[in-house]
């Protein structure tokens, strides 16, 4: 069977590992950057659009895929549909909730609202034409079944890693005790949860909070957090080497989020044997066994977060055991070979 995988270049590091595991399991694969063959959503430049269509047709003719896996929604879905090739959509987030927040916070002018409606229609068309939707968590599976119950839906936890690559790396000197956060700031409904740190840092002046990440809403978050002497913003870290150095050095990993499909940084933090504290939201509880591999806190509950951070620092042996148990779980459930085998079963069930 031949599988064409399309996605964003920022995810190629992981998609290449996934592709290699699939090929070891008998699936011939090719990975492409979707924007080089079709614009993400719309393209009013006819010459540019026709050039990309021609390039994609040549690729499809030469490679001859039996099925296409979309790692994200893009205009390539339209061309794949025209070519009569079945495609699967890998769903990493609650796109309906993301659209809701985008409408309320970004697409506010009449012109932007028109763009929003076009994007909304495009996404609906993609889902309608897809052969299978692959949500990466049970949480997302329930969301998809609620919004498009008529579709063929298969749960597929796709956020794999090669455990052998995630080992302690020196090179980043941080002040201890410390808490590390690593996340983007592009969706307000997801990002605003970071603001509870203002109350937490006030109560824990002896703990340094290191935040790595950037995004659309940084100006609404970072200035408020910088008011505290025990806050350090590192900006974006080079992936994966600087991220590994960061996760190696922190004492505990913290993920504060208002919405989360699964939480891939949790997987990486566990592989580095760090205890994890995270918001009890979305797919996060599917990764953390509360009290055993980490702690779950309710959104907005800064008092409980302070309590859990103190608990981690007051009980270092317990915290170390949490990290070790977390690593064991991730090694077993999120290695590429295991994930590739699951996709092979899905392909065999759904591709003639």
What pLDDT sits at residue 40? 63
How much is the average pLDDT of 113-134? 93
What pLDDT sits at residue 345? 97
Reported pTM: 0.95
pLDDT per residue over 214-258, tens digit each?
A: 999 999 999 999 999 999 999 999 999 999 999 999 999 999 999
Considering the domain 2-160+335-350 in this protein, what is its CATH number?
3.40.50.2000
What pLDDT sits at residue 42? 59
Q: With pLDDT > 70 as the criterion, what percentage of the chain qualifies?
A: 99
**Which residue in the block uniquely carries the two structure tokens 């590390």?**
180
CA angle centred on 64, ends 58 and 70, rounded to 5°: 90
pLDDT bracket for residue 81 (50, 70, 90): very high
What pLDDT sits at residue 41? 61
What pLDDT sits at residue 179? 98
What pLDDT sits at residue 188? 95
Mean pLDDT (the chain, rounded)? 95
What pLDDT sits at residue 118? 87
Does pLDDT of 43 surpass 80? Answer: no
How much is the average pLDDT of 14-28? 97
Please check whether the domain covering 163-333 is classified as CATH 3.20.20.80: no
SS (H, E, C) the chain: CEEEEEECHHHHHHHHHHHHHHHHCCCEEEEEEHHHCCCCCCCCCHHHHHHHHHHHHHHHHHHCCCEEEECCCCCHHHHHHHCCCCEEEEECCCHHHHHHHHHHHCCCCHHHHHHHHHHHHHHHHHHHHCCEEEECCHHHHHHHHHHCCCCCECCCCCCCECHHHCCCCCCCCCCCCEEEEECCCCCHHHHHHHHHHHHHHHHCCCCEEEEECCCCCHHHHHHHHCCCCCEEEEECCCCCHHHHHHHHHCCEEEECCCCCCCCHHHHHHHHCCCCEEEECCCCHHHCCCECCCEEEECCCCHHHHHHHHHHHHHCHHHHHHHHHHHHHHHHHHCEHHHHHHHHHHHHHHHCC
Segments making up each domain of the chain, as ranges: 2-160+335-350, 163-333
């Amino acid at each position: 069977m031949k599988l064409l995988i399309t996605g964003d270049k920022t995810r190629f590091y992981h998609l290449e590992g996934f592709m290699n595991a699939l090929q070891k399991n008998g699936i011939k694969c090719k990975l492409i950057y979707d924007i080089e063959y079709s614009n993400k959503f719309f393209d009013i430049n006819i010459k540019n659009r026709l050039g990309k269509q021609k390039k994609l047709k040549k690729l499809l003719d030469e490679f001859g895929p039996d099925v296409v896996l979309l790692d994200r929604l893009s205009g390539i879905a339209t061309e794949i549909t025209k070519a009569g090739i079945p495609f699967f959509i890998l769903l990493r987030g609650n796109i309906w909730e993301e659209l809701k927040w985008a409408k309320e916070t970004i697409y506010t002018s009449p012109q932007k609202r028109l763009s929003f409606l076009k994007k909304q229609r495009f996404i609906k068309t993609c889902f309608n034409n897809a052969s299978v939707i692959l949500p990466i968590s049970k949480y997302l599976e329930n969301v998809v079944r609620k919004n498009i119950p008529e579709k063929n839906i298969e749960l597929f936890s796709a956020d794999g890693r090669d455990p052998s690559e995630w080992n302690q790396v020196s090179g980043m000197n941080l002040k201890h005790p410390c808490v590390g956060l690593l996340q983007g700031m592009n969706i307000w409904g997801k990002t605003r949860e970071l603001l509870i740190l203002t109350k937490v840092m006030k109560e824990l002046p002896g703990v340094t909070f290191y935040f790595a990440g950037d995004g659309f809403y940084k100006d609404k978050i970072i200035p408020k957090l910088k008011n505290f002497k025990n806050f350090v913003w590192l900006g974006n870290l080079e992936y994966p080497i600087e991220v590994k150095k960061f996760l190696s050095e922190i004492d505990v990993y913290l993920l504060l989020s208002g919405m989360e499909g699964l939480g891939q940084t949790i997987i990486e933090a566990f592989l580095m044997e760090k205890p994890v504290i995270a918001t009890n939201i979305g797919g996060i509880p599917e990764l953390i066994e509360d009290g055993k591999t980490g702690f779950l806190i309710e959104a907005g509950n800064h008092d409980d977060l302070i309590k859990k951070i103190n608990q981690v620092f007051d009980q270092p042996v317990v915290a170390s055991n949490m990290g070790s148990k977390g690593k064991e779980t991730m090694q077993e459930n999120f290695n590429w070979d295991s994930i590739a085998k699951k996709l092979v079963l899905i392909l065999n069930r759904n591709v003639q």
